């Protein structure tokens, strides 16, 4: 039993030492930055269906999270690189209109379509 405890402590110490020496994993990788944020906004937007937004249960939650994720990530991309401002502007307009109208009306859908076109061109 004591051997097992010593092994766990040494193993944990070794992992901790390796982690300290190599960094905590916080360095930006190839999947970070404004381009990744813009792509991250486009991915949930592609799977978003406005008709599901008011659905009950998990289906509605998924739509809500996809919508909000797309809007927020587009803002992050635009804040870091103005090249993504048109995407953020279109999604911001759609989000604001949806909040005011409490619906995905024709204007909101038009802005969503514009956002999807911008995403296709990225």
What are the tens digits of pLDDT across the range 12-61?
444 443 334 444 444 455 578 999 999 999 999 999 999 999 999 999 99
Q: Residue 14: inside a domain, yes or no? A: no
Count of structural domains within the chain: 1
CB-CB contact of 90 with 122 (8 Å): no
Range of the domain at 39: 34-121
State CA 70 to chain mean position distance.
Answer: 6
Question: Which tens digit of pLDDT belongs to each residue from 57-100?
Answer: 999 999 999 999 999 999 999 999 999 999 999 999 999 999 99
Give the residue, 32 or 115, on which the prediction is more confident.
115
pLDDT at 31: 73
Looking at residues 101-108, what average pLDDT do you find? Answer: 95
For CA atoms 5, 7, 12, 13, the dihedral sign is positive
pLDDT score recorded for residue 30: 58
Specify the residue for token string 């269906």: 49
pTM over 0.85: no
Domain assignment present for residue 87? The answer is yes
């Amino acid at each position: 039993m004591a051997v097992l405890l010593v092994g766990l402590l040494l193993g944990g110490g070794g992992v901790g030492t390796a982690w300290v020496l190599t960094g905590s994993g916080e360095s930006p990788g190839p999947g970070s930055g404004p381009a990744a944020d813009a792509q991250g906004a486009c991915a949930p937007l592609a799977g978003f269906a406005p008709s599901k937004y008011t659905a009950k249960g998990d289906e509605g939650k998924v739509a809500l999270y996809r919508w909000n994720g797309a809007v927020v990530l587009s803002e992050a991309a635009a804040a870091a690189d103005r090249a993504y401002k048109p995407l953020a502007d279109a999604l911001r307009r759609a989000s604001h209109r949806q909040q005011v109208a409490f619906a995905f009306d024709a204007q909101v859908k038009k802005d969503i379509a514009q956002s999807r076109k911008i995403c296709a061109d990225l």
